[in-house]
């Protein structure tokens, strides 16, 4: 109760100060500085501590903030021991790579007892942080939630900066299970009598919510098991299809799926009773009102379909017109903020998608436009001369060309608004539906609209009930049905015989262990990666391994020549495979990601680490070294599989071994699983 009263009073003062900000300039609430939090923990005797921040950049920034504040948590003897351990563990890493990795700033933080820990760090750096923290030399670690999974790093205190995290799609609250996993690091066995978990207060934090997270002791288990292509051929080869199907039906995942339908079945029963009552309300003395209402629905559906068709045709016409534009063409943008005359500076037709011409408007704005800016085709009105090396970022150049555009005089003659075609007016099927509607007996019913409202409710409830029935049917025995679909696809593609026997192609697939297993097998069977050099092979196979942390908006460039051709063939195979998976109702194979092609290609060619990381730039800057090492090792793992694949040619197997050799250098040439105090050894 005291805590609740205190937080309510603080929140009242914060809200009062915020409302008076414009008049009194009163102090608004600001989160405490991270350096202040660490100093408070030190005064209270709660170090060593792990401070969880759900952002890589936030962890690095927290260390820098503490360094800038002059925070020092270690003695001279501890700093000397930290320096000795660090220098011993990184002795095998080239000096030029250490400079790229921010080694000196990182070591300074360690010597002051501060460190970050997240997946973007070099694995060796993370291991050093873990060793020093366990030994009590590093006092405060700013970490992402990955530190709470599978790493033995207990602390006296755990601090949660926020109770909200980004899960890759949205910001969501921590679950009780996640809260327990994170705070479970507090308390060192044999050292601390008790552990402490601290939640940093903010106006969004309700103490009752924190108490609820801390007091929950039961956490539901949810199975993520699903049949894969590799699993299917291995099960078929070891126990046969019939036994494999029975095995899946007895799995925990299927048990959960079957149990979850009980509540939905009850809801279906209630919906059926409600629908019976709705049918009584729509009964009409003149005729079958459900039949009449079906005509109204069919008319509305047809009108929407014709409207979509018209929009699609207009967009296709706009795209085709943009593809015909040339440099110097003067066009009119019909609407929007950029409405008016514009001259084409670059047709923008070189990519894989729709054209996006670079234009300069009469208002001196330069930028790219798309088919979305045109409700009608873009037709050239005239042509003007654009200087050969025109720089659209130069204000003077834009001013002169815009003046030439205005001098054409076309801005004084507004474009004619073309008359849009009305497909609904000429559609024979729609006209017939309307004729049937007018002739229906219920059309003359005085209570027609009242019946229609009840019929609409019935239609919506029928749709919801059909969805529930489908979900019930889909979950009951769902794993076995999914397994049957997987086996049917594998049979059509020659990995299984119609009798369920594993073919030579199936034996190849059975030895491929990766998320895109079937796509890799198809690439091997089609010879997509044949004839490549070691560096080209490493770059080409990276697209089936790598997965960007964020979705990119633009197409990623790749090395020209054999690499581009191999990637293009891989993408075609993926599109073919995805279409078949969609048709069969299977979860689709993830689209190949081109974001790691250049880093892998340059590294395999022996280029320096700085250039490699820069070529894998993200929205946050260069590719983090930890990400590069992790994905490069997964590429190496797949190359090792190719080197042993029975269905691969001898030449491809040799190239795969050579590719592994050229990749394993520098920061990748060392074993990161050495124990505390052990030097790094070549793998």
- Is the same domain home to 186 and 83? yes
- Is the same domain home to 44 and 187? yes
Q: pLDDT tens, 531-570?
A: 999 999 999 999 999 988 665 545 577 888 999 999 999 9
Q: 210-214, 252-256, 530-534: lowest mean pLDDT where?
A: 252-256
With respect to residue 598, please indicate whether it lies within any of the assigned structural domains.
yes
For position 683, what pLDDT does the model report?
36
Between residues 385 and 480, the one the model is more confident about: 385
* 678 sits in which H/E element: none
With respect to residue 23, please indicate whether it lies within any of the assigned structural domains.
no
- Is the same domain home to 643 and 551? yes
Provide the mean pLDDT of the chain. 83
Provide, rounded to the nearest whole percent, the portion of the chain with pLDDT above 70: 82
Extract the tokens encoding 293.
């209402």
**What is d(CA 377, CA 329) in angstroms, rounded to the nearest whole number?**
14
With respect to residue 298, please indicate whether it lies within any of the assigned structural domains.
no
- Is the same domain home to 105 and 245? no
> Residues in the chain, how many?
683
Name the strands in the sheet holding 329-333, side by side, starting at the edge strand that comes first in the sequence. Answer: 366-368, 358-361, 340-346, 329-333, 382-383
Average pLDDT over residues 328-353: 84
113: nearest Cα among 53, 49, 17, 160: 49
**What is d(CA 127, CA 106) in angstroms, rounded to the nearest whole number?**
13
The pTM (predicted TM-score) of the whole model is: 0.61
Find tokens 């491929």 and name the residue: 512
Residue 654 pLDDT > 80, yes or no?
yes
With respect to residue 175, please indicate whether it lies within any of the assigned structural domains.
yes
For residue 432, what are the contacts with CB-CB under 8 A and spacing of at least 6? Answer: none
- Is the same domain home to 263 and 253? yes
- Is the same domain home to 656 and 539? yes
**What is d(CA 292, CA 544) in angstroms, rounded to the nearest whole number?**
54
With respect to residue 69, please indicate whether it lies within any of the assigned structural domains.
yes
Q: 207-211, 306-310, 567-571: lowest mean pLDDT where?
A: 207-211
Other Cβ atoms less than 10 A from the Cβ of 531: the count is 15
For position 595, what pLDDT does the model report?
87
- pLDDT-derived band at 26 (thresholds 50, 70, 90) equals very low
DSSP conformation class of 273: H
- pLDDT-derived band at 2 (thresholds 50, 70, 90) equals low
- The enclosing domain of 103 has a CATH number of 3.40.50.300
- The enclosing domain of 372 has a CATH number of 2.30.30.30
Residue 98 pLDDT > 90, yes or no?
no
Other Cβ atoms less than 10 A from the Cβ of 342: the count is 27
- Is the same domain home to 129 and 201? yes
- pLDDT-derived band at 604 (thresholds 50, 70, 90) equals very high
Find tokens 């051709």 and name the residue: 565
Q: 129-143, 341-355, 517-531: lowest mean pLDDT where?
A: 341-355
- Dihedral in degrees, nearest 10, Cα atoms 126, 129, 135, 139: -140
Identify which of 24-33, 204-213, 412-421, 587-596 has the greatest average pLDDT. Answer: 587-596
Provide, rounded to the nearest whole percent, the portion of the chain with pLDDT above 90: 37
* 526 sits in which H/E element: helix 517-526
Residue 628 pLDDT > 60, yes or no?
yes
Q: Is the dihedral of CA 102, 106, 108, 109 positive or negative?
A: positive
- Is the same domain home to 517 and 504? no
Q: pLDDT tens, 154-165?
A: 788 889 888 777
- The enclosing domain of 560 has a CATH number of 1.10.3380.30
Write the DSSP assignment of 368-436 as a string of letters. E--GGG-SS-----EE----TT--TT-HHHHHHHHHHHHTT-GGGSPPP-PPPP-HHHH-HHHHHHHHH
The radius of gyration of the chain's CA atoms, rounded to the nearest angstrom, is 33
200-226 in b/e burial notation, b at 16+ Cβ within 10 A? ebeeebeeeebeebeeeeeeeeeeeee
For position 268, what pLDDT does the model report?
84
Residue 25 pLDDT > 60, yes or no?
no
**What is d(CA 321, CA 274) in angstroms, rounded to the nearest whole number?**
54
Residue 319, class by beta-carbon neighbours within 10 Å (0-12 exposed, 13-18 middle, 19+ buried)?
A: middle
- Is the same domain home to 344 and 463? no
For position 187, what pLDDT does the model report?
74
Other Cβ atoms less than 10 A from the Cβ of 71: the count is 21
DSSP conformation class of 188: -
With respect to residue 428, please indicate whether it lies within any of the assigned structural domains.
no
Listed residues 182, 215, 248: the one ending a domain? 215
φ, ψ for residue 374, nearest 5 deg: -125, 120
- pLDDT-derived band at 668 (thresholds 50, 70, 90) equals confident
**What is d(CA 539, CA 566) in angstroms, rounded to the nearest whole number?**
10
Listed residues 215, 248, 276: the one ending a domain? 215
* 116 sits in which H/E element: strand 114-117
For position 242, what pLDDT does the model report?
79
Write the DSSP assignment of 551-618 as a string of letters. --SSPPP--TTHHHHHHHHHHHHHHHHHHHHHHHTPPPPPPP-GGGHHHHHHHHTT--HHHHHHHT-B
With respect to residue 358, please indicate whether it lies within any of the assigned structural domains.
yes
Residue 624 pLDDT > 50, yes or no?
yes
Residue 113 pLDDT > 90, yes or no?
yes
Average pLDDT over residues 41-55: 88
Residue 477 pLDDT > 80, yes or no?
no
Q: Which domain holds residue 232?
A: 223-284+451-509
Extract the tokens encoding 405.
């555009």
Extract the tokens encoding 551.
């979705």
534: nearest Cα among 653, 669, 668, 670: 653
For position 427, what pLDDT does the model report?
81
Cα–Cα distances in angstroms (integers) from residue 581 to residues 121, 288, 447, 490, 495, in the given order = 37, 42, 49, 11, 15
- Is the same domain home to 203 and 253? no
Listed residues 442, 475, 509: the one ending a domain? 509
**What is d(CA 5, CA 634) in angstroms, rounded to the nearest whole number?**
53
Extract the tokens encoding 504.
């030579």
For residue 166, what are the contacts with CB-CB under 8 A and spacing of at least 6? Answer: 54, 55, 172
With respect to residue 304, please indicate whether it lies within any of the assigned structural domains.
no
For position 80, what pLDDT does the model report?
94
Q: pLDDT tens, 309-338?
A: 888 888 888 888 988 999 999 999 988 788
Task: Taking each helix axis as running N to C, give the angle between helix 2-19 and helix 207-215, from 0 to 180 degrees, rounded to the nearest 10.
Answer: 140
384: nearest Cα among 415, 345, 348, 339: 345
- pLDDT-derived band at 619 (thresholds 50, 70, 90) equals very low
453-492 in b/e burial notation, b at 16+ Cβ within 10 A? ebbeebbeeeeebeebeeebeebebbbbbbbbbbbebbbe
The number of distinct structural domains making up the chain is 4
- pLDDT-derived band at 123 (thresholds 50, 70, 90) equals confident
Residue 23 pLDDT > 50, yes or no?
no
For position 191, what pLDDT does the model report?
74
Identify which of 87-91, 101-105, 233-237, 538-542 has the greatest average pLDDT. Answer: 538-542
Q: pLDDT tens, 416-433?
A: 555 555 666 678 888 899
Q: Is there a contact between 357 and 367 (Cβ–Cβ < 8 Å)?
A: no
Extract the tokens encoding 164.
């909200």
For position 256, what pLDDT does the model report?
55
- Is the same domain home to 484 and 586? no
**What is d(CA 132, CA 297) in angstroms, rounded to the nearest whole number?**
70
Cα–Cα distances in angstroms (integers) from residue 576 to residues 137, 211, 523, 582, 585, in the given order = 55, 52, 12, 10, 15
Residue 662 pLDDT > 60, yes or no?
yes
- Is the same domain home to 154 and 265? no
Write the DSSP assignment of 493-519 as a string of letters. TTSB-TTS-B-HHHHHHHT--STTHHH
């Amino acid at each position: 109760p005291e805590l609740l009263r205190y937080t309510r009073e603080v929140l009242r003062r914060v809200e009062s100060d915020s409302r008076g900000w414009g008049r009194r300039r009163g102090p608004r609430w600001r989160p405490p500085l991270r350096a202040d939090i660490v100093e408070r923990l030190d005064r209270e005797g709660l170090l060593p501590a792990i401070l969880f921040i759900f952002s890589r950049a936030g962890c690095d920034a927290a260390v820098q903030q503490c360094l800038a504040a002059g925070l020092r948590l270690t003695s001279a003897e501890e700093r000397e021991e930290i320096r000795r351990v660090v220098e011993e563990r990184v002795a095998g890493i080239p000096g030029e790579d250490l400079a790229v990795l921010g080694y000196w700033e990182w070591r300074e933080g360690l010597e002051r007892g501060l460190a970050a820990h997240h997946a973007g760090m070099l694995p060796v750096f993370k291991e050093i942080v873990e060793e020093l923290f366990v030994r009590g030399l590093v006092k405060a670690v700013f970490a992402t939630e990955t530190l709470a999974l599978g790493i033995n790093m207990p602390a006296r205190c755990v601090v949660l900066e926020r109770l909200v995290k980004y899960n890759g799609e949205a910001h969501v609250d921590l679950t009780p299970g996640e809260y327990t996993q994170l705070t479970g690091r507090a308390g060192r066995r044999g050292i601390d009598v008790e552990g402490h978990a601290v939640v940093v207060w903010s106006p969004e934090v309700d103490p009752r919510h924190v108490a609820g997270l801390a007091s929950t002791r039961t956490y539901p288990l949810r199975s993520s098991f699903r049949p894969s292509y590799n699993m299917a051929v291995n099960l078929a080869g070891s126990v046969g299809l019939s036994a494999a199907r029975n095995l899946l039906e007895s799995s925990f995942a299927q048990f959960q799926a079957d149990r979850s339908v009980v509540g939905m079945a009850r809801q279906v029963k209630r919906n059926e009773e409600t629908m019976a009552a709705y049918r009584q309300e729509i009964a009409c003395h003149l005729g079958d009102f459900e039949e009449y209402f079906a005509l109204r629905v069919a008319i509305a559906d047809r009108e929407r379909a014709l409207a979509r068709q018209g929009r699609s045709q207009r967009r296709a016409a706009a795209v085709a017109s943009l593809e015909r534009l040339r440099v110097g063409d003067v066009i009119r943008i019909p609407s929007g903020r950029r409405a008016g005359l514009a001259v084409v500076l670059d047709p923008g037709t070189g990519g894989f998608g729709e054209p996006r011409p670079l234009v300069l408007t009469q208002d001196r704005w330069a930028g790219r436009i798309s088919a979305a800016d045109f409700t009608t085709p873009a037709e050239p009105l005239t042509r003007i001369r654009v200087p050969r090396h025109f720089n659209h970022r130069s204000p003077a150049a834009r001013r002169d060309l815009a003046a030439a555009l205005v001098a054409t005089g076309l801005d004084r003659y507004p474009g004619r608004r073309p008359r849009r075609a009305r497909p609904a007016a000429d559609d024979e099927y729609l006209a017939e539906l309307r004729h049937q509607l007018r002739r229906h007996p219920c059309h003359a019913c005085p209570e027609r609209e009242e019946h229609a409202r009840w019929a609409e409710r019935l239609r919506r409830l029928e749709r919801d009930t059909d969805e529930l029935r489908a979900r019930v049917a889909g979950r009951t025995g769902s794993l076995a049905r999914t397994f049957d679909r997987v086996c049917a696809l594998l049979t059509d593609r020659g990995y299984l015989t119609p009798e369920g026997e594993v073919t030579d192609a199936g034996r190849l697939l059975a030895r491929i262990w990766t998320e895109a297993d079937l796509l890799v097998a198809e690439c091997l069977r089609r010879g997509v990666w044949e004839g490549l050099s070691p560096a080209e092979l490493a770059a080409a196979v990276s697209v089936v391994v790598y997965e960007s942390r964020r979705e990119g908006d633009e197409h990623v460039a790749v090395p020209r020549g054999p690499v581009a051709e191999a990637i293009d063939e891989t993408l075609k195979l993926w599109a073919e495979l995805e279409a078949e998976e969609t048709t069969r109702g299977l979860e689709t194979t993830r689209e190949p990601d081109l974001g790691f092609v250049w880093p892998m290609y340059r590294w395999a060619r022996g280029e320096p680490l700085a250039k490699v990381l820069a070529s894998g730039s993200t929205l946050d800057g260069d590719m983090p070294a930890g990400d590069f090492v992790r994905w490069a090792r997964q590429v190496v793992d797949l190359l090792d599989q190719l080197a042993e694949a029975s269905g691969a040619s001898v030449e491809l197997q040799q190239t795969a071994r050579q590719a592994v050799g050229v990749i394993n250098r520098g920061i990748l040439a060392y074993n990161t699983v050495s124990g505390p105090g052990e030097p790094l050894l070549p793998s």
